[in-house]
Amino acid sequence: MKSMIIASTSTLHGSGPLEYLLDELKIHFKSANEILFIPYARPGGISHDEYTAKVAEPFKLIGKTLRGLHTFNNPKKAIKDAQGIFTGGGNTFVLVHKLYKNDILTIIKEAVNEGTPYLGTSAGSNICGLTMNTTNDMPIVYPPSFKTLGLVPFNINPHYLDPNPNSTHMGETRETRIKEFQVFNTQPVIGLREGSWVEVRGERLTLKGSLDARIFEYGKVPYEISTDSDLGFLK
């Protein structure tokens, strides 16, 4: 049975990494002593070692160890043997490029479908959708495809921002960009605000966190959905 937390962000303003999710993660990874970390997105261009060491700290608080996928000689076997998987944020283009290069996208999908608990934040959440086309990131590398894991039947826009009526910025809003996407693509998109996540338990998908989410369905006016809502209608 699929067991996933697909979170908008790893860190909320004024708190430490994953601090707001630690109680959830105790339950989510209750059967895992060691979590396999996929550090490929490299926020700010930091090294895989630096990134792994940084996110290992909050897991120590809940009695879990973290090991970076980059330290394994056989990444496919490491994913198959993993007790739990965490894919961190950073640049989605870099992440997806590396997943294709190492030929492990399908292996991750199979592992999660077979019940390995998965946590994604930011870029690691983007890849859970049908494609990565609704990322906010700069295309600094060119992956072979924009198709991703397809573990949920929609696309995800982490870090979703509402227009600020007091801003003098004249550029496109996040909503405008997603509407542009849906001129050419028909899949739904969920705009996840900071501190929100999608919980996946088998076939049940639920919005969690303290904030509502913005839903974009092809041919419809975007609308809000409240926390704890069932997202099964987006299938």
Q: Is there a contact between 111 and 87 (Cβ–Cβ < 8 Å)?
A: no
What are the angstrom distances between the C-alpha of 27 and each of 4, 24, 79, 210?
11, 5, 21, 19
Of 132, 182, 140, 139, residue with least CA distance to 157: 132
Other CB atoms closer than 10 Å to residue 34's CB: what's the count? 15
**Active centre residues (catalytic):** 122, 137, 159
Q: Which residues pair with 225 in a beta bridge?
A: 213
Q: Which residues pair with 224 in a beta bridge?
A: 214
